[in-house]
Amino acid sequence: MQLLIFIVLYPQLWIISLLPRPIFYFLSDMFFVKLYYFIGYRKKVVYENLKLCFPKATDAWIKQTRKAFYRHLCDLFMEMILTMNLSKSGVKRRYQLQNLEDLQNILKDKSVLLVCSHYANWEWNVSINNYIEEAGYAVYQKIGNPYFDRWIKRLRNRWNTTPITQAETIKTVIENEKNGLRAVYGMVADQSPPMSKAKDWAPFMNIEVPVYTGAETLARKLDLAVVFLKVSKVKRGVFHARFIPITSGGKQTQVGEITRSFLDLAEQQIREQPAHYLWTHKRWKHRGKKLNKE
């Protein structure tokens, strides 16, 4: 069944990726109308998340931001399809780095753990490896359908990125360091851990929530430099990315320092352009449970 689903969907996605841009984004607009007005996918979740994170905002602002988010979400989904036939030169026009030299200077001394959140077009973050000589890795979670999983890996390989699972990350870093190879390891670090794995709590959007500490643990154990990737959506299909150093070496930081710096930067990014965060994610579902757990 999984193979059949892939066989049916893949040709359709391929055709969509080749459409002229006006028609391509017209389809995104039609997708938005269906998703927002008819399907109503997680509209209540988005509303509650926005209300929780912006308690002083008016109801009109909440609803306006929610609608803008769904338009962005549909564009994001379509741009993932666009990746199928987007060349390196094409993605460079659409995803532009503002201070590449800062990343390159850090890479002269240490490998970099590049952390980001589910913001703007995080799928295109892997295109950064088109600009650097060092190896690039993207830490990801496998997709349930193995055929789509292999497809996603092929897409990322086109942009000089090697997808690795969380379980493979430490081994990959150790092997590269042992061989004297500098590399960039990209990781989306704002997920909500299950309560059984909630080892640390921190404020995010002024709400105390459980946080993953995998990025910090990796950086402190292997002494990686940590850099936050701040992405801004300039206009439809065009993004600017900036590298913000968190530390030049994980071993010189205190416990919790990297995680909290990341959360602060992610929160700042969200507040600048709230509609471009992944509000359908139930990021704050475990708020208020810390005392119960203890």
In a domain, 51, yes or no: yes
293 domain residue, yes or no: no
- Strands 135-139 and 161-164 turn out to be parallel
Question: Is residue 95 in some structural domain?
Answer: yes
Structure tokens at 84: 């199928």
Q: pLDDT-derived band of residue 10, with 50, 70 and 90 as boundaries? A: confident
Please state whether the predicted TM-score (pTM) of the whole model is above 0.85.
yes
DSSP state of 103: H
Q: Which residues constitute the domain of residue 24? A: 2-282
Residue 8 lies in a domain: yes
DSSP string, 87-131: -HHHHHHHEEES-HHHHHHHHTTS-EEEEE-SBS-GGGGGGGGGS
For the chain, the domain total comes to 1
Q: What is the DSSP letter of 226?
A: E
Q: Is residue 291 part of a domain?
A: no
41 is a domain residue: yes
Tell me the per-residue pLDDT of 257-283, one tens digit each, with 9 for 90 and over. 999 999 999 999 999 999 999 999 999
**pLDDT at position 182 over 90:** yes
Identify whether 292 is part of a domain: no
pLDDT interval class at 292 (50, 70, 90): low
In the chain, count of helices (H) and strands (E)?
11, 9
